[in-house]
Every structure is written in structure tokens, then in C-alpha cells.
Structure 1
């Protein structure tokens, strides 16, 4: 588990805890000899975690679609940068070069990426561990909704179990490194009854 794909906000949020968490996350990734893979942004939590990794001597791989370059949000100091044509290619390449995924607080994009990578896992397209860092209870309402999806029969418990949730990044990464996932054959997610 070397390359950690981090989904997170292009905004900082209103509470300092989100900024501080991103800084601490960057330092921890370096301490654990992990490479950050992310969307190549210089703004928000994205920029903060990348800066923290770089300032502590770590490596950062960014993937950005070419149309976003004109908005001048691309981080200019990354170890590696991949420019792709579309958002879909961005998400695919980030997943291909990563060994694990963690979502920090964020908005639409973060949720889009998180649910897509979980869907890919459910379909058997990858076996990476996927974690949700629930900083400051940020994801409590989402976690409640996910449990309701299981309760109402729209999500199987085995699929919910694919998502590791923790409020401490070090604990989450340790759990993800120790996780063993059985093969999840394509087609098993369909209830044919």
C-alpha cells in the first residue's frame, strides 16, 4: 500500500480543523513512506495536503484534466503531473496508479469520486481498500444515510463493509493495510430473486 489516493475538497471549509487535518495527513503520509495521489489542485484541502507532503519531503502525483489548466488551479510543485483529456480519464488514471483510497471532507467532487470507487469495488473492478475519514463528525449524516440504504434493502451489508470509516487517519491507514478482502466476483452484486 504505497500510493494513497486522497479525495478531498477544493475548498478549505469554515472550521480550522479541516485545514489542520489536511496538514497532519500530509505529514503522516510522509512518515509512513506513502505517496499522495490526488487531483493536482493547489486550492482548498487539496492544495494543503499536497503542500504538507512536499514540505515534509514526500512525493505527490497529481492528475488533472486539461480544461482545468486554464483556471490556474493546478499545483505547480508536484513530483509528477499527468494531464488528461476528461474527468473520467482523471478518475480512472488516479485509481490505476493507486493502492488505496481515502476520502477527507469535501463537496460534490469528493462524494462523486468516493461513490464511484465504491461502485467499481462492488463490481469487482478493483480490490483497493477504501476509507472514509470522518473528521469532526463531518460525514455523520452520510454514514446515517448509508446505513438507511442497507436497512431499506438498497445496499447489502457486505458492500457497506467495503468502506472503512474512522475519525483518525493513522488508525484508518493501519486498518486498511491489514485488511483482507475476499474476491468479489462480478455479477454477485445483482439480486436475481
Structure 2
């Protein structure tokens, strides 16, 4: 999924949606992918989650750089604009190549190119 996607978008949902959302956010933080994660924040559905994340940034549990992995908008059209304008930021400790090798996202021949 991480290799094939251009971005990840979460629509309002339940536990499964939240689990998948947090997984792709964590993958971005670890450098497994550098794709944006978008929240379709219909009727403010994700406002509480975004407030929680912002509080975690304020308290030092999440870095401001990691916060910028997530973009959100109330409409699909606005979200697409946000995703297209997203510029990925990798933490210096995260090595994408190492993760791709470890998870078999690339073959040995791709690594040696």
C-alpha cells in the first residue's frame, strides 16, 4: 500500500479507520513513506483528533515536523488541493531505503541501482 499510493485519505469512520490512519501516520514519521495523510474532516468529524494531536505537539510528544504529515479539509476538493501542495519532510533519523529493504518494498536489484 505504501509503495503504490500517492497519498492516504481517511474519511470519517470507526476503530478500523483510526487504526489504519495512525499506522500510515507512523509509517511517515518512521520514513517508510513520504506521502501526505489527508483527513476528510466532514462536519468537523476529526476536530477532536486534530486537537489531541496539536496538544501532543504543544506538550512535546509529537514534533511539529511530524504534525505536518497530516493535512485536513472539510471538502474533498479542498483536501485534494492540500494534498497536492504538501511538501514531505523526513526526520533525519528515518531512512526510507532501510525500511523499504526490510519490508521487501524494493528488490536487491533496485537497491543496487
Q: How does the TM-score come out when normalised to structure 1? A: 0.46
Q: Is the 8 A contact 1:105 1:134 kept in 2?
A: yes
1:159 Cα deviation (Å)?
A: 0.6
1:122 Cα deviation (Å)?
A: 0.5
Q: Is the 8 A contact 1:124 1:185 kept in 2?
A: no
User: Aligned-residue CA RMSD in angstroms?
Assistant: 1.7
Query: Match of 1:158?
Result: 65
Query: Match of 2:35?
Result: 128
Cα offsets for 1:91-140 (capped at 9, x unmatched): xxx33321111100001111111111011101111011111111011111
Aligned residue pairs: how many? 95
Query: Match of 1:168?
Result: 75
User: Structure 1 regions of 5+ residues with no counterpart?
Assistant: 1-93, 189-193
Higher helix share: 2
Greater Rg, structure 1 or structure 2? 1
Moved over 6 A (4+): none
Q: Is the 8 A contact 2:41 2:47 kept in 1?
A: yes
Q: Say yes or no: does 1:149 pair with 2:51.
A: no
Higher strand share: 1
Query: Match of 1:39?
Result: none
